[in-house]
Amino acid sequence: MKQVTKEVIEAAHSIGLFVRVCVSDMGTANQDMWRTVGVYSGRTGCTNHIQHPCSDQHQLYFMADTPHLLKNVRNCLLNQSILLPQHIVSSANLPSDCVTLDHVRTLVKIQDDKQLRLVPNLTAAHVSPGQYQKMRVNMAAAVLSHTTASALQFCVAVNLMPKEAESTAWFLDCINKWFDAMNARTIKASLFPTSQGKLNALHLLLDVIRNVHFTQRDSWKPIQTGIQLSTTTVLDLYNDLVCQGGYKFLITGRLTQDCVENLFSCIRGKGDSHPTPVHFRQNLRIVSLSQYMQITPSSSYDVDDSVYFLDFLKMKPIRTVHDVDEELVFVDENVSLLHTDLDIVDMNVCYLLAGWAVHKQKARTANCSDCLAVICGASAVLYGRHPTSAKERQELLAEPVDSAATVLLYGPCLLLRLDILGIKV
C-alpha cells in the first residue's frame, strides 16, 4: 500500500495536483502503512508527516478520517466510561471525572413517551445501535452534539438527573466543537487567523484525549491515536498554509474521505455490497455516467458537497412570507392555546420551539417594525431577546421556565411560523 500510495501521489503531481495530506480510516492495513513510513501517534508523542516524495521543501501529512473518529468515540462509550484528567475537571469546574453514556440513555427514557422532545432526533437506537447503525455518522453526531449536551444540563437544572451528568454534557460539547472545527464545509465555518475559538477547541480536545483513562482495559486506545494524529495534522497544516503560507483560510471538511465513501455507497447501491473487481469497474462506469442521480439514502456517510442535476429537477419553490400573507391569521396573545397539562420538560420544549420561530421570523422581517411588533408581542418587552439562537440556548436551559403563562407568551409566534410553513393547526 505504501508503494501504491506513492505512485498515486506522483501521478497526481504530474498533472498539476499537489497532494499535502494522506487521509484514511484506521483499518489494520492503513495503520501498518503509517508505521512503515514512520508515522506514529502514541502516549509518548506524535509524528504526523514524512518528507514529500515530490518536493524537498514540503512535508506529506497523514491523518485519520474525522467522521470515522466520531463514530469510534461514540462506539467506545457504548460499553465503558471515560475518566477525564483531574486538571480538566478542576479547570472546567466539573462535579465528576466520569463520562458515561448512561446519562444519555436516561435522557432517552425521559423523553421517550413525549411528543415535545428536548432532543427530537435522539432515540434508543442512537445509544444502543445495531451492527449497521454503528456505521452511520449522523447517528453518532446526534449523540455527541451540543443539543444533547444542553438537554443534559437542563435535566440537571430541574433535578431530573444527578449533577454528575454535567461532566458528560461537557465532554459531549467538547467533542461537538472539535468535530465542527475538523469538518467545516463552508468558508464562514473554516479556520481563519481570527477563528480563535475553533483553534482553542482543537487544542483543548488534544489535551483531553492525551490524558483520559478508561474503565475497561485502561490502555492507549485507537481513538486516542486517531484524534491526536488528525488534530495535530490539521493544526500543522493550518499553520503551514494559512499562518505561513498564502492561503486565507482552511476548509477542514476537504480533509475527510466523505467523497470516497459516497462513491462506494453508489457502487454498492447497484445491488452488490461486496463487488468483485470486475463488477466494481462496471458499476464505477455506470455511476460516472449517471451523475444525474443521488447518493443512496442508506449511505452511512452524509452527502458531500457534490451537486447532482436531479436535485434541481426535484426542487420545489420555497414559500415566503409574501406567498402566504393573505392566509395568516394572528391570534390574540391572551388566548390560551394549550389545553393539556404540561410538565416542566413540555413547557421548556414549547418555549424553545416558539423562541426559535421568533428568532427565524425576526431575521426575515427585520426591516418591518410593524411585523416585528406583531411577531414578538409582549415577549420582546419582557425578555428583550430571542433565546434560542445557538449562543443563547445553553443560557436559556440553565434558567428553565416554570409556568405555562411564560410558554403562552410565545404561542402566537409558534402558530405564525407553522402557518408560514404550510402546517395547519
Q: What is the reported pLDDT for 82?
A: 95
Closest listed residue to residue 204, CA positions, set 314, 91, 98 = 91
Residue keyed to cell 492495513? 29
Answer yes or no: do 209 and 297 share one domain: no
Residue 425 lies in a domain: no
Answer yes or no: do 126 and 243 share one domain: yes
Whether residue 414 contacts residue 357, with contact meaning beta carbons closer than 8 Å, is answered with yes
Task: With a cut of 70, say whether residue 386 has pLDDT above it.
Answer: no
**Domain coverage including residue 286:** 258-314
**Model confidence band, residue 289 (pLDDT cutoffs 50, 70, 90):** confident
Q: How large is the average pLDDT for residues 144-154?
A: 92
Task: With a cut of 50, say whether residue 285 has pLDDT above it.
Answer: yes
Answer yes or no: do 74 and 215 share one domain: yes
Cα radius of gyration rounded to whole Å, the chain: 25
Q: How large is the average pLDDT for residues 203-226?
A: 92
Residue 309 lies in a domain: yes
Q: What is the reported pLDDT for 116?
A: 81
Q: How large is the average pLDDT for residues 340-348?
A: 73
Domain end position, chosen among 213, 238, 253: 253
Among 125-134, 220-229, 398-407, the range with the most confident prediction by mean pLDDT is 220-229
Task: With a cut of 80, say whether residue 324 has pLDDT above it.
Answer: no
Residue 395 lies in a domain: yes
Taking the C-alpha atoms of residue 138 and residue 129, their distance in angstroms, rounded to an integer, is 12
Answer yes or no: do 279 and 189 share one domain: no
**Model confidence band, residue 327 (pLDDT cutoffs 50, 70, 90):** very low
Q: What is the reported pLDDT for 318?
A: 54
Q: Which tens digits make up the pLDDT trace of 56-101? A: 999 999 999 999 999 999 999 999 999 999 999 999 999 999 999 9
Q: What is the reported pLDDT for 399?
A: 44
Q: What is the reported pLDDT for 8?
A: 95
Q: What is the reported pLDDT for 295?
A: 59
Q: What is the 3-state secondary structure (H, E, C) of the chain?
A: CHHHHHHHHHHHHHCCCCCCEEEECCCHHHHHHHHHHCCEEECCEEECEEECCCCCCCEEEEEECHHHHHHHHHHHHHCCCEECCHHHHHHCCCCCCEECCHHHHHHHHHCCCCCCCCCCCCCHHHHCCCCCHHHCHHHHHHHCCHHHHHHHHHHHHCCCCCCCHHHHHHHHHHHHHHHHHHCCCCCCCCECCCCHHHHHHHHHHHHHHHHCEECCCCCCCHHHHHHHHHHHHHHHHHHHHHHCCCCCCECHHHHCCHHHHHHHHHHHCCCCCCCCHHHHHHHHHHHHHCCCCCCCCCCCCCCCCCCCHHHHHHCCCCCCHHHCHHHCCCCCCCCCCCCCCCCHHHHHHHHHHHHHHHHHHHHHCCCCHHHHHHHHCHHHHHHCCCCCCCCCHHHHHCCCCCCHHHHHCCHHHHHHHHHHCCCCC
Residue 206 lies in a domain: yes
**Model confidence band, residue 291 (pLDDT cutoffs 50, 70, 90):** low
Closest listed residue to residue 359, CA positions, set 307, 291, 299, 410 = 410
Q: Kindly report which listed range (3-12, 112-121, 132-141, 174-183) carries the lowest average pLDDT score.
A: 112-121
Answer yes or no: do 349 and 373 share one domain: yes
Answer yes or no: do 272 and 348 share one domain: no
Residue 333 lies in a domain: yes
Residue 390 lies in a domain: yes
Q: What is the reported pLDDT for 314?
A: 61
Task: With a cut of 70, say whether residue 118 has pLDDT above it.
Answer: yes
Answer yes or no: do 167 and 237 share one domain: yes
Q: How large is the average pLDDT for residues 355-364?
A: 70
Answer yes or no: do 305 and 330 share one domain: no
Closest listed residue to residue 39, CA positions, set 226, 302, 210, 190 = 226
Mean pLDDT, the chain, rounded, equals 80
Pairing of strands 82-83, 213-214: antiparallel
Domain end position, chosen among 204, 235, 253: 253
Q: Which amino acid is present at 165?
A: A
Taking the C-alpha atoms of residue 175 and residue 6, their distance in angstroms, rounded to an integer, is 33
Q: What is the reported pLDDT for 410?
A: 46
**Could you tell me which residue, 58 or 393, shows the higher pLDDT?**
58
- Cα 347 to Cα 116, 123, 168, 401, distances in angstroms: 9, 21, 24, 7
- Cα 170 to Cα 102, 159, 199, 345, distances in angstroms: 15, 17, 18, 21
Task: With a cut of 90, say whether residue 52 has pLDDT above it.
Answer: yes
Closest listed residue to residue 271, CA positions, set 257, 260, 282, 262 = 282
Percentage above 90 pLDDT, the chain: 52
Q: Please state the domain count of the chain.
A: 4
Q: What is the reported pLDDT for 345?
A: 80
Task: With a cut of 70, say whether residue 264 has pLDDT above it.
Answer: yes
Q: Kindly report which listed range (136-145, 153-162, 239-248, 264-273) carries the lowest average pLDDT score.
A: 264-273
Q: What is the reported pLDDT for 243?
A: 92
**Model confidence band, residue 308 (pLDDT cutoffs 50, 70, 90):** low
Q: Kindly report which listed range (303-312, 336-345, 409-418) carries the lowest average pLDDT score.
A: 409-418
Residue 269 lies in a domain: yes
Answer yes or no: do 240 and 180 share one domain: yes
Answer yes or no: do 134 and 149 share one domain: yes
Helices 369-376, 344-364: inter-axial angle, 10-degree rounding = 180
Q: Which tens digits make up the pLDDT trace of 395-419? A: 444 444 444 444 444 444 444 444 4
Q: How large is the average pLDDT for residues 249-260?
A: 91
Q: Kindly report which listed range (44-58, 125-139, 321-335, 364-378) carries the lowest average pLDDT score.
A: 321-335
Answer yes or no: do 294 and 359 share one domain: no
Q: Kindly report which listed range (62-66, 84-88, 180-184, 381-385) carries the lowest average pLDDT score.
A: 381-385
Residue 86 lies in a domain: yes
Task: With a cut of 50, say whether residue 393 has pLDDT above it.
Answer: no
Predicted TM-score (pTM) of this structure: 0.78
Answer yes or no: do 240 and 266 share one domain: no
